[in-house]
C-alpha cells in the first residue's frame, strides 16, 4: 500500500471546517500522541539517561523492558519510569494545544495511553476513558480483590530505596506487596486476564451513554491520534466502526506511519500522514477565531 502524501496546511483547513461543523468530538489516542508530546518509549537517549544500569545490561528502550528482571531491578525500573511518565502534575504543551483546539465543543476522550496526560493538561477527568489502565494505580497480581491502590506512595517508597548506580531497590522491605493478601503486585495496566478494570468501567459506561443517547443527526467528529496496530481493537477499529455506523460522523486519522482509512468511509475520513506535533503546530488559529471567520 502506497503511503499517502500529506499537505498539512490543506489537512488543517479541512479539520478546522469539520470542527466548526461538529456537534460533538470524540478524541481517541494511542501511544503516538504521547510520543509526539515527548514521551517516546523508543527513545534510547532518554532511556540511557534514566536507566544507565539497564542500558549497560544491553537494553536500549522502555519497549525492551519486557524481559525477566530480578524484583529489585524490576521495581527500580518501575519507580523511575512511573515517576517520569505519570506523576508529574505539569501540563503538557501538546496536549494543552489539543484541549484548546476542541474548545467548548461537547467532547470525550478515549485513550490506550496510561500516562494521565489528558487529565493533567486540562481535559475533564470524568470524560476520559482509559481502558488499558493507569500507571497511577497498582493491583494485586493474583488478583485477590478488585480494589486498586494509588501508586504515588509506592513509587516514593521505592525511589527512596533505589540505588541510581545499580538501578536496583536496595531494601528488600521496600519491595511492594499486596495490601490485602500480602502477595505480589503489579501496575494496574492491561497485560493479561488478571487486569483489574474496575476503576475504568464507570467512565466506559458514561461514554457509551454519551454516544448512545445522541440524536441520529448528531455530527460527530472522531479525532484519532497515534493509534497504530499494536492494539488496534482498543482505539483504531472501534473509531472506524463508530463512524461507519453513524451517517453524520467523520474520522480524522493522524498517524505518520499508519494513516490509511477504510475505503468504505470515503470522503467522511481524512488520513493525515503526519505526527500530532506537526499537525497541531499548523492548527494555530484558535477555534473561536475560526468561528468568527466563518460567521463573517
Report the chain (296 residues): mean pLDDT per 10 consecutive residues. Answer: 72 97 98 95 95 94 90 97 95 96 97 97 98 98 98 97 96 97 98 97 98 95 96 96 96 97 97 95 61 35
Task: Enter the CATH code of domain 8-39+94-135+198-295.
Answer: 3.40.50.1220
What was the pLDDT predicted at 2?
52
Stretch(es) of the chain classified as CATH 3.40.50.1220: 8-39+94-135+198-295
> Alpha-carbon distance 117 to 137, whole Å?
15
Q: Measured between alpha carbons, how far is 29 from 94 in angstroms, rounded to an integer? A: 13
Catalogue the E-assigned strands of 99-141.
106-111, 128-129, 133-140
Q: What is the pLDDT of residue 68?
A: 87
CA distance 151 to 165: 24
Say what the pLDDT of residue 66 is.
82
Whole-number Å distance between alpha carbons of 163 and 156? 13
| DSSP, res 270 | E
* CA proximity to 229, closest of 31, 34, 65: 31
C-alpha cell at position 146: 478488585
Instruction: Annotate 255-284 with b (16+ C-beta within 10 A) or e (fewer).
Output: bbebbebeeebeebbbbbbbbbbbbbebbe
- For residues 177 and 184, give the distance between their C-alpha atoms in angstroms, rounded to a whole number: 5
Is residue 13 classed exposed, middle or buried when 0-12, 13-18 and 19+ CB atoms within 10 A define those classes? middle
Task: Return d(Cα 41, Cα 203) in angstroms, integer.
Answer: 27
Are the C-beta atoms of residues 250 and 269 closer than 8 Å to each other?
A: yes
Contact 230, 31 (CB under 8 A): yes
pLDDT at 292 (0 to 100):
37
For residue 5, what are the β-bridge partners? Answer: none
What pLDDT, on a 0 to 100 scale, did the predictor assign at position 234? Answer: 96
pLDDT for the residue numbered 291: 40
Task: Identify the helix (H) or strand (E) that includes residue 24.
Answer: strand 24-29
Q: What is the pLDDT of residue 254?
A: 98
Query: Which regions of the chain does DSSP assign to beta strands (E)?
Result: 24-29, 106-111, 128-129, 133-140, 148-150, 162-163, 168-169, 185-189, 220-225, 250-254, 269-272
Amino acid at each position: 500500500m502506497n503511503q499517502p502524501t500529506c499537505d498539512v496546511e490543506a489537512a488543517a483547513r479541512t479539520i478546522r471546517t469539520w470542527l466548526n461543523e461538529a456537534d460533538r468530538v470524540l478524541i481517541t489516542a494511542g501511544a503516538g500522541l504521547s510520543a509526539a508530546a515527548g514521551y517516546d518509549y523508543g527513545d534510547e537517549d532518554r532511556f540511557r539517561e534514566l536507566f544507565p544500569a539497564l542500558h549497560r545490561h544491553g537494553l536500549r528502550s522502555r519497549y525492551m523492558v519486557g524481559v525477566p528482571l530480578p524484583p529489585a531491578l524490576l521495581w527500580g525500573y518501575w519507580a523511575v519510569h512511573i515517576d517520569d511518565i505519570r506523576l508529574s502534575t505539569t501540563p503538557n504543551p501538546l496536549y494543552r494545544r489539543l484541549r484548546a483546539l476542541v474548545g467548548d465543543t461537547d467532547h470525550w476522550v478515549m485513550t490506550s495511553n496510561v500516562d494521565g496526560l489528558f487529565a493533567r493538561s486540562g481535559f475533564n477527568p470524568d470524560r476520559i476513558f482509559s481502558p488499558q489502565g493507569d500507571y497511577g494505580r497498582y493491583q494485586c497480581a493474583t488478583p485477590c480483590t478488585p480494589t486498586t491502590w494509588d501508586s504515588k506512595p509506592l513509587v516514593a517508597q521505592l525511589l527512596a530505596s533505589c540505588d541510581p548506580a545499580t538501578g536496583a531497590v536496595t531494601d528488600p522491605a521496600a519491595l511492594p506487596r499486596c495490601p490485602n493478601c500480602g502477595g505480589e503486585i503489579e501496575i494496574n495496566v492491561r497485560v493479561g486476564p488478571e487486569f483489574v478494570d474496575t476503576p475504568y468501567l464507570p467512565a466506559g459506561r458514561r461514554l457509551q451513554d454519551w454516544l448512545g443517547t445522541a440524536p441520529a443527526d448528531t455530527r460527530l467528529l472522531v479525532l484519532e491520534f497515534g493509534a497504530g496496530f499494536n492494539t488496534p481493537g482498543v482505539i483504531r477499529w472501534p473509531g472506524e466502526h463508530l463512524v461507519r455506523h453513524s451517517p453524520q460522523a467523520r474520522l480524522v486519522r493522524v498517524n505518520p506511519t499508519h494513516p490509511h482509512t477504510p475505503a468504505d468511509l470515503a470522503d467522511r475520513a481524512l488520513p493525515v500522514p503526519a505526527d500530532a506535533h506537526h499537525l497541531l503546530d499548523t492548527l494555530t488559529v484558535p477555534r473561536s477565531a475560526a468561528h468568527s471567520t466563518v460567521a463573517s
